[in-house]
Structure formats: C-alpha cells, structure tokens
Amino acid sequence: MVRANGLRFRTMVDGPPQGELFILLHGFPEGAESWTRQVASLAKAGCLAVAPDLRGYGLTDAPAEKESYAIDHLVDDVVGLIKAFGRESAHVAGHDWGAIVAWFFAARHPEMTKTLTVLSVGHPAAVAAASRDDPDQQERSRYVALFLLEGKAEQVLAEDDYRRLRAMFARPNPEAVPRSAIEHFARSIARQGRLTAALNYYRANLAASGGPWERLANIGPITTPTVLLWGDQDPALGRRGAEGTAGHVAAEYKLIVLDGAGHWLQFERPDEVSSALAAAANL
C-alpha cells in the first residue's frame, strides 16, 4: 500500500529499488494484475516496476464523488505515485483508461516523463477527431452512451453475474485473457461501489452529446519519446485514431500495429508489450 495524492494505492511492485522506474496504468474493467507479465519482465531486466490499482479499483481507495475521477485528479495520482517512490520522473505506460491518463500526464508533466508507452488508445485529440467524423469510430464508441447513464449502466453490466463485463474480455480472442484473471476482475468490480467508481472515469471525462471524446481533445502535443501499440482487431479503438496520433507527438514516435490482436494487449501479446517497454528505456 502506497499513499499518494491523499489516497492509499495498492501496488504490485518488483525489481531493484534503484532501477529505472516504470509506472504501469491499467484500464477498464481491470486492475494491476493486467500488467503481471510486464512487471516480471521489467524486474528481470533490472527495473523497478510499479503497477497500481487505479483509484476506485482493487484495494485502492475509492472516492464516492463522480468529480473525484476527473482527469486532473488521475494525473495528480501519477505524480504522487512517482514521488512516493522517491523519484522525480519515470517511464510511464498505460492501457485503455490508463493510456488516457498516461497521455495527459505526459502532456502536463513532460519533465517527469522519461518515455511514454501507450496501448490501444491513440492520442485523445486523434481519437476525438475520429469519433467526430469517422463512421467506423462512431460505431465503436457507441457503448460509451450506456456507460454515461448513472444507475442504468450499473444495472445492465451487473446482470447475470456481470456476464457482459466478462464477455468484453473474449473479443476477439476468447482465449486471450485467462479465465482466472477475468474472475478476479469481475469479483473485484462487483464489490460495493466499485463498478460505479470505474464508470465514473467515463462520466467525469467524456461528453454525453456530440463526440464523446471532445472533452479530452484539448490536450496539446506530446514532447516525450512515445510508442503506441494498437491491435488491428480492437473492437473499441479504430485505425483512424491510431494513425492520426503521429500528428500530435512532437518527439520521437513509433506506431506498432499488432496484426490480429484485439484490446487486451498485455494478455494477448505480452512479449511484444514487454519488448516495447524495454526498448523505450534502451534496456
């Protein structure tokens, strides 16, 4: 347990205390365990790998107010986590909502971001542009409208023992995420108030009308060396946002397209993800 930004964060930590620090941020509806393979790989390479349960998830504190999940607070969490480990900067990586937090952290704190590695989600301005005028991304983003409905989304997602949440992990590869991991994430988010906390990431940051990503569009360019890994079978994030990201990175940048991969890249392509992290730090 680590105290940062006024909250207690449960963290998975491995590696030598003086190694290069990596902060690994998970997405919806997961937890720190989504980075298990990468934490082990980075530790073996001599790095200090830290994967927290983000606020509202796992054993980390879960503020009740929707506004507590606004992007400003999520960015400040990362600042606090880095300082909690006695550092002034770190290599930062994120997947899904963790990717969005990582993008904003790098934009607002380039001095604290050694490298940026993002999985699945392109630069928020590129995704916003795609959701504005790309029919493919508009179709992929339709689920957001449900997630913004307070009470209704909880009811729908909790039906039949969280059947829909469990099914998310099976697209497009039913064998990608181990059943034990799915069960762990489902049990964790089924605890009192935790599903609402996870959905508050959407409700505090995405728009209910117009393009859902518009509220996240005004982020500015990234000046940190950046790598984006995107699976070309991702059901939620299309090619337009991934390919448009290059125009928003004013630094060394690389797009890695993982053919045949979906959304859960840490599970589906663990070696490629670990290799990208290692390459970012020149390990």
Q: Dmax over Cα atoms in the chain, in whole Å? A: 48
Cα gap 217→175, rounded to integer Å: 34
Catalytic residue (choose from 202, 234, 248, 253): 202
Contact 232, 122 (CB under 8 A): no
Cα gap 196→202, rounded to integer Å: 10
Cα gap 104→70, rounded to integer Å: 12
Secondary structure, 3-state, 234-266: CCCCCHHHHHHHHHHECCCEEEEEECCCCCCHH
In whole angstroms, how far apart are CA 44 and each of 10, 156, 238, 276?
Answer: 22, 42, 34, 15
Cα gap 265→86, rounded to integer Å: 30
Q: H or E element: which one contains 157?
A: helix 152-168
Catalytic residue (choose from 53, 61, 77, 96): 96
How many CB atoms are located within 10 Å of the residue 155 CB? 9
Contact 233, 262 (CB under 8 A): yes
Contact 28, 167 (CB under 8 A): no
Active site residue 96: yes
Contact 121, 216 (CB under 8 A): no
State the catalytic residues.
Answer: 96, 202, 263
